[in-house]
Amino acid sequence: MITTWEPTTAGVLRLPSGRLVRGRGLSRPLPQGPEPAFALYLLGHQPPPVAWENRWLRWPDFWLPSDRTATGDALREAWARAETERVEVACAGGQGRTGTALACLAVLDGVPNREAVAYVRAHYAPRAVETPWQRRFVSRFR
């Protein structure tokens, strides 16, 4: 039984290790196909309930996460689970916060911090990671 994303699924980022993570904007309808097994939602308010396991990080639009320790823990969990599960990372638009989180996952996967934003822009969305402080967050992520 396949438990990870199909590589050609819209919004799926392939990390250098081969892990697949889907990024998306919650303002758009849920894509057709399998549901995530685990989702990380990056919003300034609690997301609506979903049928799959999820974790919410308070992360206002265009800003940084409210709790950096919880964010690091959640990103490490998402990265670890992506090895064998369908993991989704999502904010309202699927660009800034989602791109920032995906760039941090790329760092966890071995991409140097200074290259992580470019990696996500090349392999996920050209406008990912929208603000200078989001880029700085990625550059300092450990």
| Among 130, 140, 103, CA closest to 21 | 103
- Provide the percentage of residues in the chain whose pLDDT is more than 90: 88
Domain ranges (residues) in the chain: 12-139
Those residues of the chain that have pLDDT short of 70 are 1-2
Residue 133 near residue 63, CB atoms below 8 Å: yes
Domain 12-139 annotated CATH 3.40.225.10: no
Residue 90 near residue 97, CB atoms below 8 Å: no
Query: Can you give the pLDDT at residue 62?
Result: 85
- Provide the percentage of residues in the chain whose pLDDT is more than 70: 99
Query: Can you give the pLDDT at residue 2?
Result: 61
Query: Can you give the pLDDT at residue 91?
Result: 97
Collect contacts of 65-73 with beta carbons under 8 A, ≥24 apart.
Answer: 72/141, 72/142
Question: How do strand 12-14 and strand 20-25 relate by DSSP bridges?
Answer: antiparallel
| Residue 105 to residue 40: CA distance in whole angstroms | 12
| Residue 103 to residue 108: CA distance in whole angstroms | 9
- Beta-carbon contacts of residue 81 (< 8 Å; ≥ 6 apart): 37, 38, 87
Query: Can you give the pLDDT at residue 63?
Result: 87
